[in-house]
Amino acid sequence: MRTAFIQQLIKEAETNDKIFLIVGDLGYHVVEPFRDKFPKRFLNAGIAEQNMIGVAAGLAKEGYNVYIYSIANFPTLRCLEEIRNDVTYYNGSVKIVAVGAGFAYGSLGMSHHATEEIGIMRTLPNMVVASPSDPGEAQAVASFTANYPGSMYIRLGKAGEKQVFPDNQEKLQLGHLHCLRESDSKNILLATGSILFDSVNQINELSIDTAIYSVPFIKPLQTEQLLKLAEKHPNMVVIEEHQKSCGLGCAIIEQISDLYATGRLKNYPKIHRLAINDEYVHIAGSEEYLRKFTHLTLSKDLFC
Amino acid sequence: MNSSDFAKQIREMSVKMVYRANASHIGGAMSMADILAVLYTDVMKYNPQKPNWEGRDRFLLSKGHACVSYYATLALAGFFPAEELDSYGQNGSKFLCHISHLVPGVEISAGSLGHGLPYGTGIALAGQIREQDYHTFVLLGDGEMDEGSNWEALMFASHHHLNRLCAIIDYNKIQSLGNTNEVMNLEPLVDKLKAFNCHVLNIDGHNHEEILNAFRKFEVQTDKPTVIIANTVKGKGVSYMENNLAWHYKSPNEEQYETAIKEIEK
């Protein structure tokens, strides 16, 4: 997923001289093609994330569209105040690209698990939060970001994620939920990130009739589309590799609640949330292992 | 207007603003007044009619709490009418008690410390890459040098030879709860900054000739970022405020206000 993103970024940078990539001394074997092609628009800021965000903010103020690439917690939690005060306050054109979503770096331990940052990033005004589910979506998100003039957080997996959608050239609209499978049943599965792949396999194994949507943008979410989906599919299952608090499930519930409170949605749907249950993981394990360990697995009883 | 008269007016306007709004931070605003006066009369390129003119020198106030003297500077430099400062700190005013970028001439908002220098480093880097000749000035508080982000930025700036970046430390030696050498000793500051590979100038931050001379030395520097340590007096210009921690917080009453104005006008 990370390679797909960087490759697309290289394509965009060929015709867009505003694109600037900064890495926090990470990205071995991923970012070098960009560095070699655009040495004047590439920088290794070292292991100093607070300064890295400040430098990015300054470059953005001078007209660049600045991408920051690092492992999930470092360019987010480590320098949260810099992001808030120096980037999103101005809606500056800084794109924080974080690899290692969820348990992607499972065995490296909690310091490398990105399991809270969706909630933290989406609370910041002006911040768009993207979380593609497969390499094709990562590419489409990269393409979107190249011409988006404001602040964004982009949550990527690692390497080797499988392609889920057949057409990886599809363009994504901001906030649009991306349909993988239609269904006339009451069920809908909403997933974000590479856990979508596992979820589709589980749906197929359990022979569940359900609509399946990827959520490549957690913020904003297109309200009108969500309203239609909630009316058509009143049994909603939301899965994400993130704490239950403040993640995708919460974002969906917030919107559904507002739609119901204002009378636009007549019947409140059932919303099942599969997320990490307010805990840290203290053991080693692959991403697949840790997903099971934290019960991020679909079961038949969640569906009608 | 020469820089001495400019500085006098900055001080008068600053005391007035703080008095009217019953606001804090007059001590640190007074200590940096001479630096601002020299910058805006004899050093910086700017156009008050076009605050975002591409060729302008960039000035970032990192010690955003001391903004009254910078607002006064911008008014005196012609960025907006001085009467607008009457709304400072009042409901609905754009003149926040920590510097706001929505005021014409202000590059960035600040308030949380340790942000201005990394931000300014990015601005200076953009200029270096595009071979533009503007200078970037960042004015920092001394207490603010406790923040690790500043040292990250200095390492970065010297690594990238950002010779058009000038940090000025308003070294009045008093921070929020005490003297800097008691809270978190910065000394030996000159040696530390030199060890970070900066071009360091240690001056009297109230002597206009020395201040100007330091900026002239910065302008011809070709390899390193410059740090000017401006040794100053907190509350400079008003006897009862000078070197007194209380004036980090206090606002003058009517009598104190009148005394202050008289002393500044002398």
Inside any domain, residue A216: yes
- Measured distance CA(B203)–CA(B215) in Å, rounded: 11
> Cα dist. A84→A94, A245, A287, B120, B145 in Å?
12, 20, 30, 17, 21
**Shortest Cα distance, chain B CAs vs residue A48, angstroms:** 6
Q: Which residue of A has its CA nearest to B126?
A: A59
Q: Which of B46, B193, B186 is nearest to B117 (CA)?
A: B193
Whether A39 and A184 map to the same domain: the answer is: no
- Tally Cβ neighbours within 10 Å of residue A22: 25
Interface list for B 113-152 with A (CB within 8 A): 114-115, 117-127, 129-130, 148-149, 152
* A170 domain residue, yes or no: no
Q: Do B118 and A86 touch (CB under 8 A)?
A: yes
ipTM, 2 dp? 0.94
Q: What is the 3-state secondary structure (H, E, C) of A46-85?
A: CCCHHHHHHHHHHHHHCCCEEEEEEECCCCCCCCHHHHHH
Q: In this structure, what CATH number is given to the domain that contains residue A266?
A: 3.40.50.920
Q: Does A10 lie in the same domain as A150?
A: yes
Long-range residue pairs from A198-207, CB within 8 A, at least 24 positions apart, any chain: A198/A288, A198/A291, A198/A297, A199/A239, A199/A298, A200/A164, A202/A297, A202/A298, A203/A298, A206/A298, A206/A299, A206/A300
Is a pLDDT exceeding 90 seen at residue A131?
yes
Instruction: For the beta carbon of residue B249, count every other beta carbon within 10 angstroms.
Output: 12
> Cα–Cα distance between A163 and A79 in angstroms, integer?
32
Query: Do A236 and A186 share a structural domain?
Result: yes
pLDDT score, position A203? 98
- Main-chain phi, psi angles of A69, to 5 degrees: -120, 125
Same domain assignment for residues A211 and A132: no
B92 touches chain A (CB under 8 A): no
Same domain? A285 vs A203 = yes
Rounded distance, CA A267 to CA B251, Å? 58
- Determine, yes or no, domain membership for A49: yes
CATH 3.40.50.970 fits B3-265, yes or no: yes
Where b means 16+ CB within 10 Å and e means fewer, B17-51 reads bbbbbebbbbbbbbbbbbbbbbbbbebbebeeeeb
pLDDT at residue number A168: 58
What's the domain count of chain A?
2
Tens-place pLDDT, residues B48-65: 999 999 999 999 999 999
What is the nearest CA distance from A41 to chain B, expressed in angstroms?
Answer: 9
Predicted pLDDT at B174: 96
Q: Confirm if A36 and A117 have CB atoms less than 8 A apart.
A: no
Are A85 and B109 in contact (CB < 8 Å)?
yes
Question: pLDDT, tens digit, for every residue of B111-165?
Answer: 999 999 999 999 999 999 999 999 999 999 999 999 999 999 999 999 999 999 9
Residue of A11, A10, A18 lying closest to A34 (CA atoms): A10
Chain A residue numbers with beta carbons less than 8 Å from the beta carbon of B112 are: 81, 85
Q: Are A303 and A237 in contact (CB under 8 A)?
A: yes
Which residues of chain A approach chain B closer than 8 Å at the C-beta?
40, 43, 45-46, 48, 50-64, 81-82, 85-86, 89-90
- Domain extent, residue A74, equals 2-155
Structure tokens of B139?
Answer: 């004015």
Query: Does A165 reside within a domain?
Result: no
Q: Please report, for residues A137, A138, A158, A276, the alpha-carbon distance to residue A193 in angstroms, rounded to integers and kept in the order given.
A: 10, 10, 11, 14
DSSP H helical segments within B39-185, as ranges? 68-76, 116-129, 148-159, 180-183
Q: Do residues A135 and A200 both lie within one domain?
A: no
Angle at A224 between CA A223 and CA A226, to 5 degrees: 65
Listed in sequence order, the residues at least 6 apart from A159 whose beta carbon sits closer than 8 Å to its beta carbon are A1, A2, A3
CB A161 within 8 A of CB A102: no
Clarify whether residues A183 and A244 are in a common domain.
yes
- Interval A208-223: pLDDT, tens: 999 999 999 999 999 9
Same domain? For A283 and A187 the reply is yes
Q: Chain A partners of B125 at a C-beta cutoff of 8 Å?
A: 43, 55, 58-59
Domain shared by A15 and A146, yes or no = yes
Q: Pick from A155, A186, A216: which residue ends a domain? A: A155
Angle at B36 between CA B31 and CA B40, to 5 degrees: 165
Amino acid at site A156: L
Exposure letters B205-233 (e unless 16+ CB within 10 A, then b): bbebebbbebbeebeebeebbbbbbbbbb
Tell me the pLDDT tens digit for each residue of A80-110: 999 999 999 999 999 999 999 999 999 999 9
Domain check: are A78 and A6 in the same one? yes
Residues A151 and A9 in one domain: yes
pLDDT of residue A169: 60
- Tell me how far apart the 2 most distant CA atoms of chain A are, in Å: 56
Kindly report the backbone phi and psi dihedral angles of residue A16, in degrees, each rounded to the nearest multiple of 5, phi listed first: -130, 100
How many A-B residue pairs are in contact by the CB < 8 A criterion? 86
**What is the SS3 assignment for B179?**
strand
What is the rounded average pLDDT of the residues A172-189? Answer: 96
B131, closest residue in chain A (CA to CA): A40
Calculate the average pLDDT of chain A. 96
Cα–Cα–Cα angle for A270, A199, A145, rounded to 5 degrees: 95
Q: Residue B76's closest CA among B110, B102, B39, B101?
A: B39
Model confidence at B192, in pLDDT bands (50, 70, 90)?
Answer: very high
Instruction: Please determine, for residue B18, whether its predicted confidence score (pLDDT) is greater than 70.
Output: yes
Rounded CA gap, B119 and A59, in Å?
8
The model's pLDDT over A62-76, given as tens digits with 9 standing for 90+, comes to 999 999 999 989 999
Position A167 scores a pLDDT of: 67
- Comparing CA positions, the residue from A27, A87, A46, A41 lying closest to residue B155 is A46
* Closest by Cβ to B149, choosing from A51, A56, A90: A51
Give per-residue pLDDT as tens, A145-173. Answer: 999 999 999 999 999 999 999 865 668 99
Q: What are the beta bridge partners of residue A189?
A: A212, A237
Residues A201 and A271 in one domain: yes
Chain A interface includes B251 (CB < 8 A) = no
CA-based nearest distance B85→chain A, Å: 23
